Amino acid sequence: MSTSPSKGRILIVDDEQLIVATLEMSLEQMGYSTTAPASTGEEAVKIAASDNPDLVLMDINLPGAINGIDAAKMIFSRFRIRSIFVSGYPHSEMASLADGPWSRGYITKPYSLERLQSAIEVALDPRA
């Protein structure tokens, strides 16, 4: 883990390992640090509990019993940590389920790094 001061610590939740690896690399370049990644909703809740991240990048379609939206709700209600959803599903379709106090944004896949960065900046802005 990086020892230089970080702009924030992010938990990446995605079952696609290449996406996880690329996100870890890109986030580090943007000046963020990451916790261990999670590939299921259950794992995400566990890591949120142990690592206390500032923000979660949450895929919605995950293997296992807990989908990304439910995992984000559990992480928010237990630890007050919020999520940016990153999904192939359009926001219009998921809005009624995904939007709420547990959410700090919604990015559809595929996304550019610029879009990702601006979403994270907005999400971690203490003035917001």
Considering beta carbons, is residue 6 or 94 the nearer one to other proteins? 94
Considering beta carbons, is residue 72 or 107 the nearer one to other proteins? 107
Residues forming contacts to other proteins in the complex (CB under 8 A) are 16, 18-19, 21-23, 25-26, 29, 61, 88-90, 92-93, 108-115, 118
Nearest approach in angstroms of CB 16 to other proteins is: 6
Q: Where are the alpha helices (DSSP H) in 52-111?
A: 68-79, 91-98
Residue type, 44: A
User: Sign (positive/negative) of CA torsion 116, 110, 87, 19?
Assistant: negative
Nearest approach in angstroms of CB 58 to other proteins is: 15
Considering beta carbons, is residue 7 or 109 the nearer one to other proteins? 109
DSSP code of residue 16:
-
**Residues facing 38 on adjacent strands:** 13
Nearest approach in angstroms of CB 117 to other proteins is: 10
Residue type, 52: N
